[in-house]
Structure 1
């Protein structure tokens, strides 16, 4: 690994700008590698998961949900943020059940995604799930979304046409393609129980 000390910034102080119901925004004062000081404003995030659910017929589980900042209905893979003290797999299992009603027989951790590195420390863990069985959704109050399925080819076409622009779903589609081609391997295991609290990765 190359030495990156000449690129690193040294944190000096932090001021809180906003602590809302969801967003926590701070301004850090840092010392740049050249010695000058600068400020960095960004969002602190508890972390999140995304689930690529594979149906037995080869289709994938997707959602359509209105996203207020975009003022548009977006096509996405199921996803959600971690609750306090919640492990990554436990969150993936919970979000899949709550949003889609599906439970999975097997799970595989794929990797991590940092969607907004310039203004947030959010990390999204990418999970694959298979052996899905349907059930009742458990949506949060005020949560409205449609669940549907599509072939990987249909999803890829929507990514190419611009109908899908959600970052995590674009990355999920890339992961799916490489897994299906046999170029990226997954380690599947029957994970029925949630991991220990605080476990942020498998």
Structure 2
């Protein structure tokens, strides 16, 4: 049996909102069966996230209030890429801004698509080791607390659902499996 072409072809686009971080549009598409459907799309700038491990095997994690969910979440340091910025450069910048850490070793953990059903963002994940601590440089609208949490505890919290942030769960579990941490 020959595989079906699953491609949806764009017929039209209606721009709905153009903000600082996101652009929202509704596309009319032709489905593989010839029917049409609407696709609501949120284009978002790409981002980076870093799993920083200190010499004692602790993760430098950040707790910050996430307005959309109305609560604080424990996450790994992360942020958006500037236009044209290389993911490694952006990740190193975000790590230093949020935690003050500068690594000797910086390894890629891959790229993920957080919500591909409607959200156009890719996140580049990294592992940082051999950390040297310098000054934090938080953005004016950024408020967070840095904590050091043993890596096995981070794994446990990811597996029990206590940590809900997708990029954090993926980075922790990838590091656990790929690096046998």
- Into which bin does the TM-score normalised by the smaller protein fall? over 0.9
Q: Distance in 2 between matches of 1:33 and 1:116?
A: 22
Q: How does 1:86-101 map to 2 (within 5 A)?
A: 86-101=85-100
- Which residue is equivalent to 1:42? 41
Distance 1:27 1:93, change over 3 A: same
- Which residue is equivalent to 2:79? 80
Q: How does 1:42-191 map to 2 (within 5 A)?
A: 42-181=41-180
Shift of the alpha carbon at 1:5?
4.9
RMSD: 1.6
Q: Deviations over 1:77-131 (max 9, x none)?
A: 1111111111100100100011111111121112111111111111101111111
Shift of the alpha carbon at 1:3?
7.0
Structure showing the higher strand proportion among its residues: 2
Q: Distance in 2 between matches of 1:136 and 1:50?
A: 19
Q: How many residues align?
A: 181
Secondary structure in structure 2 of the residue aligned to 1:169: helix
Q: Distance in 2 between matches of 1:3 and 1:178?
A: 35
Moved over 4 A (4+): 2-5
Between 160-169 and 56-65, report the one with greater CA deviation.
Answer: 160-169
- Which residue is equivalent to 1:185? none
Between 160-169 and 55-64, report the one with greater CA deviation.
Answer: 160-169
Return 5+ residue gaps in structure 1 as ranges: 183-202
Shift of the alpha carbon at 1:160?
2.9
Shift of the alpha carbon at 1:172?
1.2
Between 173-182 and 55-64, report the one with greater CA deviation.
Answer: 173-182
